[in-house]
Amino acid sequence: MKTHTLKVKILPEVKEIAILAGEKLLSYSKRINKLKITSKDAEGMVSEADIQTEKLIERKLKKLFPEASFLGEESAFLNIKDKKKAYREFQKVEWSWIVDPLDGTHNFLSGLDYYGVCIALAHFGKPVLGVVFRPGTNELYYAVKDGGAYKENIAKNSRKKLFILNNTKKLRDSMVVTGFSLEKGIENPGEFKALQRIMREVRGLRRFGSAALDMCLVSEGTFDCYWEKGLSPWDVAASGIICEEARVYVTDYDGEVFHPFQKSIFCSRKPLYKKIIKLI
């Protein structure tokens, strides 16, 4: 089966799996205080909800597409400490799912509904399908390579295409979003200096705690830019292709074209892309 045919054919089922996983998270959210919670070295908390939801997604995806491998946050088959080496190995895999069952675990465990389910399908290392579902608001973002990016509200049965060629705002009128975590074990004063430089130039800056949702909001024009260092492939794979298909520039800080194993990520539309990345 050709790549384009495959990704279009299975998209409806992937969307349903993301929604099902979101419903499972919502059920867990009703008993947050009773969840079993542990910590991962330099990565923060992981809960029973993360683990069990990933198991559900993996089971469903393997049934849907048995030939594809599975790269999930809680069960990664690659050691990604050396991202360049990991990406070279990942590029040898024809098909692979890249999954974050709960992006925004800290928000989830605090009762804040800014978290999402992320599912991407990669072909020889490059995402060709991405789905991000926000259970708390019933918002579903998705894209396939060369097929456009869309947002649905499943409760309202509404859909819109995410496509903005250029950003017409001036830098001083822009709203940007970023992320950083002191739990990753890496002190990076350069990130905070960049933060200060950008804050002086823009209208507003936010830090919400879910890379995937932040990027989806850039894809629909709510935010004008997003950047962060030290993320993992499952944090950005699905939202990365959604941004690309919405005509958002997605690169690392050095301008290298997006792939899920980069050490940094930066996304914005032109002409703000060039203006803001210089500040970083």
Bigger pLDDT: 43 vs 152: 152
Q: Report d(CA 256, CA 265) in Å as an integer.
A: 9
Q: What is the pTM of this model?
A: 0.94
Instruction: Show the domains of the chain with their CATH numbers.
Output: 3-161 (3.30.540.10), 171-279 (3.40.190.80)
Region 214-238 average pLDDT: 97
What is the pLDDT at residue 77?
63
Whether residue 133 has pLDDT greater than 80: yes
Please name which of 198, 190, 195 lies closest in space to residue 179, comparing C-alpha atoms.
Answer: 195
Altogether, the residues listed in the chain come to a count of: 280
Q: Report d(CA 203, CA 176) in Å as an integer.
A: 8
What is the pLDDT at residue 11?
96
What is the pLDDT at residue 182?
58
What does residue 107 show for φ and ψ, rounded to 5 degrees? -60, -50
pLDDT band at 3 (very low <50, low <70, confident <90, very high): low
What is the pLDDT at residue 184?
53
Region 86-93 average pLDDT: 91
Bigger pLDDT: 4 vs 223: 223
What is the pLDDT at residue 185?
56
Region 22-33 average pLDDT: 93
Sequence-separated (6 or more) residues with CB below 8 Å from residue 44: 105, 106, 181, 183
Q: Is the dihedral angle over the CA atoms 19, 23, 26, 32 positive or is it negative? A: negative
Whether the Cβ atoms of residue 245 and residue 161 lie closer than 8 Å to each other: no
163-181 residue pLDDT tens? 999 999 999 999 999 998 6
Please name which of 84, 44, 89, 52 lies closest in space to residue 69, comparing C-alpha atoms.
Answer: 89
Bigger pLDDT: 191 vs 134: 134
For a pLDDT cut of 70, what percent of the chain falls above it?
A: 92
Please name which of 263, 241, 253 lies closest in space to residue 123, comparing C-alpha atoms.
Answer: 241
3 state SS of 60: helix
Whether residue 135 has pLDDT greater than 80: yes
Strand pairing class (204-206; 225-229): unpaired
Q: Report d(CA 147, CA 242) in Å as an integer.
A: 10
Residue 113 is classified by DSSP as: -
Q: Average pLDDT of the chain?
A: 91
199: enclosing H helix or E strand: helix 189-199
Region 79-90 average pLDDT: 84
202-212 residue pLDDT tens? 999 999 999 99
